[in-house]
Amino acid sequence: MPEVAFHTGLPDKVEYACRLLRKAWRQRQRVAVTADAATLGRLDAALWTFEPQGFVPHVRLAAGASPAPRLARTPIWLVDDGARAPQCDVLVNLGPAQAADAGRYARVIELVGASDADRQAGRQRWQAYRSAGWSVTHHARDGDG
């Protein structure tokens, strides 16, 4: 079973994800990222621009698409609903629902925003993981707890 870590109270999940993915890339980890299409679009654009002199190598995998062999070494995969990333160590979820294939990763990182709707969806995911017997940890931003 994967380790699950919830990062909650995030004012901007996309900005937080950029920093998290940059750190993962520097540590040579392979990461799949799930979210709704609009959020993945914002994240895709932000990964090109959030650091003026930097770039986090990534690719977006559309629903129904298979990873192209030439992209196999790409460390960060933005995965549209219905697509399956190649083997990765970590799953980062920015979406409101639990990823259906979360069990295939060694670590799952759930990013939860500060809005009431996002917090409620995060609570539901937390309960689903706990009910399944998974180990869950919590990392709260100041003021969220």
Per-residue model confidence as pLDDT tens digits over 9-60: 999 999 999 999 999 999 999 999 999 999 999 999 999 999 888 889 999 9
pLDDT > 90: percent of the chain: 79
Note whether 10 and 16 are within 8 A (CB). yes
- Binned at pLDDT 50, 70 and 90, residue 84 comes out as confident
93: left (phi over 0), alpha (psi -120 to 50) or beta: beta
Instruction: Indicate the average pLDDT of the chain.
Output: 93
Contact 49, 75 (CB under 8 A): no
How confident is the model at residue 52, as a pLDDT? 85
Give the global pTM. Answer: 0.93
Q: Residue 79 pLDDT > 60, yes or no?
A: yes
Q: Which residue has the tokens 């192209």?
A: 68
